[in-house]
Structure 1
Amino acid sequence: MKALVTGAAGFLGGHLVEMLVERGDEVRAFIQPGQDRTLLQSLPGVEVIEGDLTDAASLKKAVQGIQRVYHIAAKTGPWGPEEIYQATNVQGVLDLIAAAQEAGVERIVHTSSITVYGHHLRGLVAEDYPYHAENNPYSRTKISSENLIFKLVKEKGAPVVVIRPGWIYGPRDTASFARFVSLVQSGKGFLLGSGKNIVPIVYVRDVAQGLIKAGDAGNEAVGRAYTIANDQRVTQAEYLNSIADALQVPHISRSYPFTAIFLAGQVAEAVWRLKDSRQQGAPPPVTTYGVTLLGRDQRFSIDRARQELGYAPEFDLKRGVALGVEWYLKERR
């Protein structure tokens, strides 16, 4: 099997490439010019090519001779110019699917996000939960791309399966996990509210497993969306204190009211938009996106993925955090 992985130089992309190589697939790794290719070049049989989702010609070249496309690349985060998110997360996806269909690709696995459900959730959320766009371009464009994908499946027979990962963590996660480890290690960690809310964390190799199973699934999976998370119900306090345990430092004792921090995020975003109407600079120090992700109760059902894909999380909280902290400490030696 020859697979294309977009976003291969990223956190999830790198782990997915490793797992595809482990099972004997040939992998073409699609990265942006200038991205670090050290890990990818160390893996046997990986072909590294450069391109961009906003460059249709590079996408057409990337899909030649490919049987499966695992699309991970995206403009992420809650802050930035809307047109960049649209070009990458919407038009780029459409161009990739068109190029893949023209090249005869058998299966496209598109990586979406639990952000399509919104972040102010009640009860156990399954895939039929309605879309809710949060006030950021990442959320809006992820919903737009999903709507267009399902339309292409229906009207053009696009062989796409959609995966909606939870909050991914693990080794090489410099954007989120490493920051939490640093805070806990330095004694600056804190809880939002009581810390009893459920956080939707999922270990990176479990997400990669879900992507691979979506690629392997029969045609009945085409046009379906699957939430990939861990149904071990982990609270915010358990997550952060498991990091403390792995570091062998005291548990977190400081907490701040959720409502106050959420309002601070709203104020910060409003001020930043006044200063930077096109959102081209650095994001605010606190955002409502980050506050709700950590401090709100978010419970997801993975029954559909279990039953239809055969997905089963393999990494519980203790094991996953231990591996992540081990990587963090090695990187800082």
Structure 2
Amino acid sequence: MKTVLITGATGFVGSHVLEAFMAQADPMLRVIAACRDRRKLLPGFAGEVREGDLRDADYRKIMVEGVDVLCNAVAWSSLWGHVADSRHLFLEPNLALIDAARAAGVRRFVNTSTTSAAAPEHSSDPQSEGIPRPLWPHLCNVVKIEAALRTAASADFQVINLRLGIFAGRRYALGVLPILVPRLKTHLVPWVAGGRTSLPIIDGRDIGAAFVCAVAAQGLADYEGFNIVGPEVPRVRDVITYLHDDYGLPKPHFSVPFAVAYPFAWLMEKLDPIVPWEPLVTRSIVHLMEEVGVDNAKAERLLGYRPAYAWRAAIHAQMQEMAVRQTRAMSMAMPIV
């Protein structure tokens, strides 16, 4: 029997990974959920729970004990600022988790990353090294975790790095849609590069399926990177037009090139200390609009991953939930949960 641990099991990625394993109900898998608060787990989960704070060294040691495969969905995210929080709540615990997993004899580490990690220059190649972007401190930490895993990978500690697209769907957390929707309503958000770049939206259910494939796959190298997106990759213009047609959100009234969008976003960031609201746009959001040129070809070939949920369905599910949950603009940084 193979023991699979899912960290961050109450978050967006983690809950969908847990849900996918619950649906599979493989008698040869022992699935353990790790989280800070077991009360937030999916109600149907009846397996073992390892509850605690990843920043606690004693907990980390207990959490990874007896684990064969670790699905790392630990998440704390920020689209703007929060340099110290990103380091203390995300980077340092994740690096310590890697060390703990290796020491405990974990054989495979499946990591959550982003298709933007190497954008725009090398994102089409999921095996490429991430590119640190000082304009987005949290992304720099994502890249550092990728680099640490690449260095640690060996025949005894196999690493599968999943660069996931733009999250959408049920149980959403911080992401492009919750940030974009209230800003579109201001009529001040422009198209960037005419909205012609791709926006690789992925439904949470397809994310869960990708992790199941990554746990089961055989014949992989010590370090394997994969781009993981939905069955179709829309353009930014397609997504915003859909939001306009189906939900009545305003379309942008003008377009700016990336060469203008970045300085404008920089100005919005500089104004932040003197205005009572978060920036209308930040350089990290502009970076998410950069062309990534990703597809599922490698994941289909080596993992058997075949996404099932179209981007419109993912957005529809999230917009329904947002209508209930999101009564005001979402903060650009996740609270610790």
Please give the range of the TM-score, normalised by the shorter of the 2 chains. 0.7 to 0.9
For 1:314, the equivalent position in structure 2 comes to 308
Q: Is the Cα contact below 8 Å between 1:206 and 1:314 reproduced in 2?
A: yes
Given that 2:77 and 2:174 are in contact with CA atoms closer than 8 Å, whether structure 1 keeps it comes out as no
Q: Post-superposition shift, 1:309? A: 0.7
Pairs within 5 Å for 1:44-193: 44-118=45-119, 120-121=120-121, 125-135=124-134, 136-154=136-154, 157-176=156-175, 177-182=177-182, 188=187, 190-193=189-192
Shift of 1:292: 2.5
Query: Aligned with 2:161: secondary structure?
Result: strand
Residue aligning to 2:33: 29
Distance 2:56 2:102 in 1: 17
Change (3 A) 1:175 1:221: same
Please state if 1:328 is matched with 2:329. Answer: no
1:312 Cα deviation (Å)? 1.6
- The structure-2 alpha-carbon separation of the partners of 1:38 and 1:256, relative to structure 1 and needing over 3 Å to count, comes to farther
Please say which of residues 12-21 and 95-104 is displaced more in the overlay. 95-104
Alpha-carbon distance in 1 for matches of 2:235, 2:190: 11
Name the counterpart of 1:269: 269
Residues 183 and 280 in structure 2, CA contact (< 8 A), matched pair in contact too: no
Q: What is the SS of the residue equivalent to 1:125?
A: coil
Counterpart mapping for 1:3-18 below 5 A: 3-18=4-19
> Residue 80 of structure 1: CA displacement?
4.2
Q: Secondary structure at the match of 1:77?
A: coil
Cα RMSD, aligned residues only: 3.2
CA–CA separation in structure 2 for the residues paired with 1:49 and 1:80: 31
CA distance in 2, matches of 1:179, 1:83: 22
**Cα distance in 1, alignment partners of residues 97 and 35 from structure 2:** 14
User: Where in structure 2 are the equivalents of 1:160-309 lying within 5 Å?
Assistant: 160-176=159-175, 177-182=177-182, 188=187, 190-193=189-192, 194-230=194-230, 232-247=232-247, 249=248, 252=251, 254-258=253-257, 259-270=259-270, 284-294=279-289, 296-309=290-303
How far is 1:207 from its partner?
Answer: 1.9
**How many residues are matched?**
318
Question: What is the alpha-carbon distance in structure 1 between the residues aligned to residue 132 and residue 169 of structure 2?
Answer: 27
CA contact (8 A) 1:126 1:301 kept: no
Partner Cα distance (1:112, 1:158) in 2: 18
Identity of aligned residues (%): 21
Is 12-21 or 102-111 further displaced after alignment?
102-111
CA contact (8 A) 2:231 2:308 kept: no
Give the drift of 1:130: 4.7
**Equivalent residue of 2:77, what SS?**
coil
Cα distance change on mapping 1:226 and 1:70 into 2, 3 Å: same
Shift in alpha-carbon separation, 1:292–1:255, aligned structure 2, 3 A: farther
Q: CA deviation at 1:153?
A: 1.4
Matching residue's letter, 1:318 = R
Identify the structure with bigger relative contact order (alpha carbons < 8 Å, sequence gap 6+).
2
189 and 29 in structure 1: CA distance in 2 versus 1, 3 angstrom threshold: farther
Q: What is the SS of the residue equivalent to 2:167?
A: strand
Q: TM-score normalised to the size of structure 1? A: 0.82
Distance of 1:270 and 1:189 partners within structure 2? 18
The alpha-carbon distance between structure 1 residues 41 and 203, as it changes in their structure 2 partners (threshold 3 A), is: closer
* CA separation of 1:210 and 1:41: change in aligned 2, threshold 3 A: closer
Segments of 5+ residues of structure 2 without an aligned counterpart are 328-337
Q: Counterparts of 2:90 and 2:320 in 1: how far apart (Å)?
A: 33
TM-aligned CA distance change 1:146 to 1:243, over 3 Å: same
Q: Residue in 2 aligned with 1:279?
A: none
1:223, 1:235 → 2: CA distance?
30
**Distance in 1 between the 2:249 and 2:92 partners?**
47
Counterpart amino acid of residue 264 in structure 1: F
The AA in structure 1 aligned to 2:287 is: T
Change (3 A) 1:320 1:81: closer
Measure how far apart 1:50 and its partner are: 3.0
